[in-house]
Chain A
Amino acid sequence: MSEETFYADQWLYSTLAADATLTAAVSTRFYADEAPDKAAFPFVQWNLLSSVDVRGQGPNSIMLNCLYLVKAVGKTRSYGDLLPITKRVRELIDGKGGDTLAGDHIFSCSREEGFRLPEYLNGVSYRHLGAVYRIFVQEG
């Protein structure tokens, strides 16, 4: 974990929260790592799964190679309810990149695999649907 992951978080948030289609579906419910206790459903959440430094010959890190799980979470028994959200997320970040407002660089973001997870808790069903994305990020 390092500060570059914070820049990746910023890029994800600014990219996803600026989209009218997504905000129509989840309002402002975009969460890094953890959703608040009383968050309404559905929401978009991302978690850092792994981050590895990319080095050249010397000791300095060139950039950070991250794996992010970006998913929609809903109080539902149907993945279909979440499909429009995850498809839109994919359109917005897969194969994309750019700079954050502070000038940090997202060299690339590319989808590596799909993800889904059913959860059943206290008589309530939840579904997680999304994908794992590889993000290369460098401090500006």
Chain B
Amino acid sequence: MTDTSLVIRLDRFNEIKRKFPEEIDRILKEGSEEISSRADSQAPGKVPVKARKTKGGYEVAAGSSKYFFGGFVEFGTVFQVARPFMTPAAESVFPRLIRQMHRLERVL
């Protein structure tokens, strides 16, 4: 039964992931590496930025036990202006990731 004229579906990611596991992995890997690369080039001082594989996909992490102050740099402190380097990197890469996912959805 059709009871609406407009439907926005947000339920196909699992289907895409099941049908194109290698392609999804490649998109996420390249995306996380690009975010890491862009953030690393903007990161002040020696804050290390690395992309790494996790159980569910990939993550990009800034800082280490020695360089723990990435959050203070990104968001600012009481006496220090914020100098974001992670968020701009992620925001600049996300649109392309979404477009790539959308292309996969079209061939389902």
Check B81–A33 contact: CB distance below 8 A. Answer: yes
Q: Are A115 and B91 in contact (CB under 8 A)?
A: no
Q: How large is the interface on B (under 10, 10 to 19, 20 to 34, 35 or more residues)?
A: 10 to 19
User: Is residue B44 within 8 Å, beta carbon to beta carbon, of the partner chain?
Assistant: no
Q: Is the interface of B mostly helix, strand, loop or mixed?
A: helix
Contacts of A73 in B (CB 8 A): 78
Determine whether the beta carbon of A49 is less than 8 Å from that of B82. Answer: yes
| B75 at interface by CB-CB < 8 Å | yes
Complex Cα spacing A119 to B84, Å: 17
Evaluate contact between A47 and B82: CB separation under 8 angstroms: yes
A12 to B40, CA, bound (A): 31
**A45 surroundings in chain B (CB, below 8 A):** 76
Tell me if B77 counts as interface (CB < 8 A to partner A).
Answer: yes
Q: What chain B residues lie within 8 Å of A119 (beta carbons)?
A: 72, 77-78
> What 1/0 mask marks residues of chain A from 101 to 119 whose CB sits below 8 Å from any chain B CB?
0000000000000010101
B71 in contact (CB, < 8 A)? yes
By a CB distance below 8 angstroms, the chain A residues around B79 are: 37, 121
Are B82 and A69 in contact (CB-based, < 8 A)? yes
Q: Among the listed B71, B81, B88, which residue makes an inter-chain contact with A117, where contact means beta carbons less than 8 Å apart? A: B71
Residue on B nearest A115 in the bound complex, by CB? B75
- For A71, the closest partner residue in chain B by CB is B75
Taking a contact as CB atoms closer than 8 A, the residue among B78, B87, B92, B95 that contacts A121 in the complex is B78
**Chain A window 35-77, contacts with chain B (Cβ cutoff 8 Å), 1 for yes, 0 for no:** 1010000000101111010000000000000010100010000
Q: A3: CB under 8 A from chain B?
A: no
Complex-state Cα separation, A43 to B64, whole angstroms: 31
User: Given B75, B81, B95, which contacts A34 in the complex, CB threshold below 8 Å?
Assistant: B81
Name the contact of A50 in the complex, choosing from B75, B78, B88 (C-beta under 8 A): B88
Query: Footprint of A on B, CB under 8 Å?
Result: 71-72, 74-79, 81-82, 84, 87-88, 90-92, 95
- 11 more A-B residue pairs beyond the given contacts A49-B82, A126-B78, with a C-beta to C-beta distance below 8 A: A35-B78, A45-B76, A47-B84, A49-B74, A49-B88, A50-B92, A69-B75, A69-B82, A73-B78, A115-B75, A121-B79
